[in-house]
Each structure stands twice: as structure tokens, then as C-alpha cells.
Structure 1
Amino acid sequence: MKKIILRIFMLIIVLLAVIQINIITAPRKQTPKQSDAIIVLGCSLWGDQPSPLLVYRLERALDLYRQGYGSKIIVSGSQGPDEWVTEAFAMKKYLVENGVPAEIVLKEENSFSTYENLLFSKEIMDQEGLESAVVVTNNFHLHRSLMIADRLNITISGGAAKNYPNLALNIKYHLREVVAYIKDFIFSY
């Protein structure tokens, strides 16, 4: 009985390690492709201002937009309990203040998860006749985002933004992402 338990434990460790390796390597394997849109996934706000992780996402989206990777930008995220506005509102404001024409930034303000970010962004893409997108999120979040987008039949590539330069936080985000990946792998349909 102990050998069976040990084997199951080792199998779980190997599975978790494989997932973590994929999370770490996904941003290196992904390059953005010319698309109709850029989808920026929401992240927490500090009041009505983008948090540092969200600023990294927005700066990456600005860079991709300026390089012509998409003619529309979809910003996706609702309002959390400690946020003064929706994430999408704050993201659009940031992009417009940095030179993006307001009419090309489309807001998706109803999502509370990565799955909903992509599901509701796909609805906007369908309404606007947009067929492909570059998803922008932080490095640790890209692998799961691409998996969900693939399940939603979105023609997508990845545009990874950098992570916050704090080792302890990065370890926390990567460990949390393994659990979130498993949850979304099982329950995202």
C-alpha cells in the first residue's frame, strides 16, 4: 500500500512539474502574429489606476498596436470589490492617454475570470467581424490563457508582458497558476 501511495505522489509531482515547465516556457515559444485585434486581459486596479502587472500588460499592448499587430484593442475586466471603476474602463483610459484612438478600444466589462475575459472578448470579436487576436497577459498567465482561447475556438497568438520584478511574488504567481491551470483544464468548456 505504501508503494502505491508513493507512486501516486510521485506521479502528481511529475504532473505538476510538467505543467510548471509549460507555464515557464510558453512565453518563449509564443510570438505574436498579425491579427485583427489585441485582447488585453484584466488584472487588479489600485483604486482607479492600473496595478504594476496591468501596466506591463498595457505597455505590451501599446507596443504591439504601434507595430501593427491589431487594428482594434479589446480590454477585458469587470470591477472588483476594492476597485473604483471597471478594469476595462481604467485600461481604455490608460491606452487613450497614451495615444490610442478611443474608437478602436472596445471594452468588455462583465468578466470575473480568465475564462470569462476570453469568452466575452470572443463575443465582441464576433460582433465586430474580427477573426484573430493576440492575447496580452503576463508571462506566468500566458499558457493558461492560450489553452482557454483554443477551447473557445479563437484564432490566437500570445503577446507576453513581463512580470513584476519580485522573486517571491513571481514564485507565488507561478505556483498559483499551476492550480488555476488544472482547474481551467478540467472545468473550462
Structure 2
Amino acid sequence: MIKKRICRIVAVMFVMLVLYFLWTAISIWSFANKMELEQSDAAAVLGAAAWGDKPSPVFRERINHAIWLYENGYVSKLIFTGGKGNGAKYAES
């Protein structure tokens, strides 16, 4: 009897956890499809990685998006951030 009750509680908790993760995933997915363009003074481009003298694919897309924002008048300044890894020739910024 007690084992049955514990199993039910665990099952309910598991279902609640799965529902929570599902809700979170749907929220992230639906937010990712929203485009809310607002004019701003500046955009910060967060560093991702520099591979030799080229940006990583993630960093390249961040740079491309920042340039698009600048060229289309959504920002007037771009601020690049990022550090320099051990042995790296160039900093991300």
C-alpha cells in the first residue's frame, strides 16, 4: 500500500517535470520566432570564439546580425566584446 502510494507520487512528479520541460521548450521556441526591432543607441556583440584570424560560425553570425542592424538604422554604434584565449593571435573583440 505504501509502495503503491510512493510510486504514484513519483509518477505524478515525473509527469509534472516532463510537462514543465515541454512548456519551457515551447516558450523558448515561440520566443525565438519573434522579431521585435526597436531603434537603440548601441548593440553589444558578445564574443564567441576566434579561430586563428577568423571568427567561429556563431561569432560570425553575431557580427553579421550586428552589421545588419547598423546598416538598417536600428543602432548607431556597435560594441564588440570578448577576450583573448591562451595562445590566440587575436582577441574576439
Give the one of 40, 48, 57 matched to 2:62. 57
Equivalent in the alignment of 1:86: 91
Q: Distance in 2 between matches of 1:48 and 1:57?
A: 16
Q: Which has the larger radius of gyration?
A: 2
1:7 CA drift (Å): 1.5
Equivalenced residue count is 88
Equivalent in the alignment of 1:12: 17
More helix by share: 1
Equivalent in the alignment of 2:37: 32
Q: Does the residue aligned with 1:71 lie in a helix, a strand or coil?
A: strand
Equivalent in the alignment of 1:146: none
Q: Distance in 2 between matches of 1:27 and 1:7?
A: 30
2:45 is equivalent to residue 44 of structure 1 = no
Q: Distance in 2 between matches of 1:36 and 1:78?
A: 23
**So what's the TM-score if we normalise by structure 1?**
0.42
Percent of aligned pairs with the same amino acid: 34
**So what's the TM-score if we normalise by structure 2?**
0.79
Q: 1:8-31 CA distances to partner (integer Å, 9 max, x unpaired)? A: 112221221222222222232232
RMSD: 1.8
